[in-house]
Structure 1
Amino acid sequence: MATSQRKSQEQFIQNLTKKSKNGTCLPCRFSPPEIASLLNMFQQLCGSNSKLDRSSFRDVLMTRFKITDDFIMDRVFRAFDTDNDGYLKAEEWICGLSIFLKGRMEDRIRYCFCVYDLNGDGYISREEMFHMLKRCLVKQSTEEDPDEGVKELVEIVLKKLDIDHDGKCSVKDFRTAVESDSLLLESLGQCLPCDTLLEDFMQLIHGKLTTKNF
């Protein structure tokens, strides 16, 4: 790595660490060497560009984390893309992966809620639950109304998540429910990696697996 590139990387790491401590960006729980490795991955993915597009990010979700649902991938991208410009900058890539791979429970609760809160109003409504669950429910027989099965499932999930019984799930409701039963964290669809794939990706970051053709 050229001296100028190394200095630029070191400055980026210092700035990101400072912003994370000050709370002016999403929390970054990676060490400086891990951030440097993730920057190298980001540059491989971007090529000559300085931003990561939606298609390239989706490829990472599919190949590295086996998340294949188009709608979920789009929602994960939106959760990473904090400035909503349709691209991921290096900071968004690293801070997003920090929650994705090393996030504490509170980090993950807020991240999953963001994925499920489709209109961004701070609540997960029945309609939003229906839309999320309809995508993952096993198809029923053609003799039945498939929506009825989804509606029944929505009511079951809502009963568990709607702690204050107001007909919708707030962040506070979601946190309380998940703290009571951690399985509810991804109750509306998988948006986090399984432990095995998480460990594999961390090995990539630590250089124990090759990142060639990442």
Structure 2
Amino acid sequence: MGAPRSCVFQVVLQELLLRHPSKPPDGEESLEELRSQLFERQKAYAKHQSIKIRTCLSKRICRFELPMDLQELEVLSPQNYLRKYCCVCQRRRNAYLKVFTKFDSKQKMLLSFKDMEHALKDLYLGNIASKQFQWLMDLCDVHIQTEIDCELFCSICALSERMLYADFAMDDMEEADTRQKELLEEADFCRLLAKFHGYNIAPALTRLLLEL
């Protein structure tokens, strides 16, 4: 459940007052502008409060890499790319593995497609929609018959944070997080289509890489 509306209002009002401590409203136009800021900020704050992932959402908990020889991508599926080139920080990986173990009811170190959906929704405490889950699975080329090992599971969870961050985070949080983007990753993925020229990379993998 999100924070009570009165609580959200107080938090947002205090924030705006801190931003403008010596600038009281001057006339109806300024007052209306302040009301508008308060309303927009309240909506953003309430939206953020309603999302209670088990760990604080971040774009920086993983890094995506490319092989030195791009020809290697020609034989990789989206799933194998994620297993090999998605580097998840250890603390987040440990959190993901706890969820994986919880839903690995047969103790085979594999999750079914349905188990994957339940596990991801558990990670987001029910706040991820079925449509978002299906879009993510399509992006990873994961189908209903796919069995998901723990390596792929951790990579998909990390990818979900990268992909869904903008849906859940407040605008100013997103700006702060974006400024910290990994420079090596940014260099790797710059002008990606030009780098892929002359290589026969599967469309599904190309789509995934362009989304990162």
Range class of TM-score, shorter chain? 0.3 to 0.5
Higher relative contact order (CA 8 A, sep 6+): 2
Q: Structure 2-normalised TM-score?
A: 0.33
